Amino acid sequence: MTTADDPLVTTDWLAAHLNDAGVKVVDATFKMPGVLPLPKDDYLAAHIPGAVFFDVDAVSDHKNPLPHMFPSAEQFGRDVGALGIGNDDTVVLYDSGGWVAAPRAWWMFLSYGHDKVRILDGGLKKWRAEGRAVEGGEVTPKPATFTAAYDARRVRSIGEMIANVASKAEQVIDARAGDRFEGRVAEPRPGLRSGHIPDSRNLPYGQLFDATTGAMKPLQELRKAFASAGVDMDKPIVTSCGSGVSAAVLTLALYRLGVRGTALYDGSWSEWGQADGPPVATGPA
């Protein structure tokens, strides 16, 4: 991984480029349903100066009953353009520092053809810990034109995931906590079964970043975490989680390790775990 192709940028880098006309800063903080205060309220209370708010639930397919599924390319382009982001801009995403939604938004931008996108390492947590400036209130950007082109290779459907259980062509890595993966606790979303996709592996996303600083762990530690989870990084990989958000933390870590061509299961356990869904497995991987 070199500086040129590392999707992460440091707080020092962002501070130096914060006022660049072609750099657009985006707060993509996300929380589980029912957790207060709402991410948008946190944003209004304090965000990096000039940052707009990317609502993962709003920039989604509203015709699909599943949470925050990928929208059409037309909708993504329209929603992102409304945030003042154009195709020539460099997008810098961050979240509260818990490594949940910024990687999801990053993967969405890549999936819709925009490769000039980065993530602030450590997010708002690290930014504020260093005493850097924040501001409150809403940022009202000047709308821009953003043309999106969807790359379906980066995303998996439930049909493809069911077929993969039989073919085992792709390794499935689940980012949920171990007790959820093993089916020892109830899912936070009502009505879902407990367990995991058969033959999948478990690597809780929280193991990939430093909880104290909010920064992603060094590459050597990331590599060790995937190896400990039984992942062969030379073979195809699909990431999964509860609803397709924290799975992107694994996707990001793999990308930083030089792994390309991975995919994300958009519906994740919110889809697979439904009462009438495909077979589930329980216990350790």
Neighbours of 163 (CB within 10 A): 13
Give the C-alpha distances (Å, rounded to integers) separating 174 from 40, 65, 161, 167: 27, 22, 13, 18
Catalytic option among 8, 100, 238, 241: 241
Q: Give the residue among 64, 266, 70 at the shortest CA–CA distance from 161.
A: 266
Scanning the chain, the segments in alpha helix (DSSP H) are 11-17, 39-45, 73-82, 102-111, 123-129, 158-167, 178-181, 219-228, 247-256, 268-272
Contact 51, 76 (CB under 8 A): no
Q: Give the residue among 129, 75, 73 at the shortest CA–CA distance from 97.
A: 129
Reply yes or no on whether 241 is catalytic: yes
Q: Give catalytic residue positions.
A: 241
